[in-house]
Amino acid sequence: MERDAMVGRVDAIFRESARVHTTAAVELSGAVADAAAAVTEALRVGNKVLLCGNGGSAADAQHIAAELAGRLRLERGGLPAVALTVNPSVMTALANDYGYDMVFARQVEALGRPGDALVGISTSGGSPNVVRALEAAGAAGVTTVGLCGSNTDTFAPLCDHLIAVPVEDTQRVQEIHIAVGHAICEIVETVLFGQA
């Protein structure tokens, strides 16, 4: 591929990403605000946030947990946030003993308490292990936040707060998911610790 063609392709990628971000701003801002309020309330009363996903969504779960435990924009105390993807001994034991579909659900059973929040991330909206985690969270009285793409059939009945990116392109969905994560973290910080 010639450099001019590469530059053109990069330009097209950026423009498509910007278009999807603009659409998300119009269609998802209310849902993101509601999810942020739920996460904020869980943390305000001393509960924690659990997060899970696979692949790029696992990276997003870890990223959001790091922003909450560390900081996004404000110097403040750490907030209790746990990505359920980060302990290989737990993950492999649960996968071996219960099957990969249960690697997050068992952790929700072990760690989740009423009033906590679970953020389940799946670009497809159908990852079996994230679905099982949402089910376990609902049974435990944990508030459920689901981030997915345009397919909401599986996630919708399991989520107290659903943020469904209205596109099918995995890359664009992932880009919006991390923007959603940052928006939630910024609202948490602003409400709990003052203006950002």
Side-chain half-sphere CA neighbours of 142 within 13 A: 30
Q: Pairing state of beta strands 143-148 and 117-122? A: parallel
pLDDT at 196: 53
Token match 């950002």: residue?
196
| Three-class DSSP category at 161 | strand
Distance between CA atoms of residues 105 and 112, nearest Å? 10
Q: pLDDT of 46-81, one tens digit each?
A: 999 999 999 999 999 999 999 999 999 999 999 999
Instruction: Band the pLDDT of 195: cuts 50, 70, 90.
Output: low
For residue 177, give the H/E element and its range: helix 170-193
Q: What is the pLDDT of residue 194?
A: 87
Does the structure show a pLDDT above 90 at 1?
no
Domains detected in the chain = 3-193 (3.40.50.10490)
| CA–CA distance, 96 with 53 (Å, rounded to integer) | 18
- Strand positions, DSSP E, 62-182: 81-83, 117-122, 143-148, 161-164
- Residue-wise pLDDT for 97-148, tens only, equals 999 999 999 999 999 999 999 999 999 999 999 999 999 999 999 999 999 9
Task: Inform me whether the pLDDT recorded for 152 exceeds 70.
Answer: yes
Asked if 188 and 40 touch (Cβ cutoff 8 Å), the reply is: yes
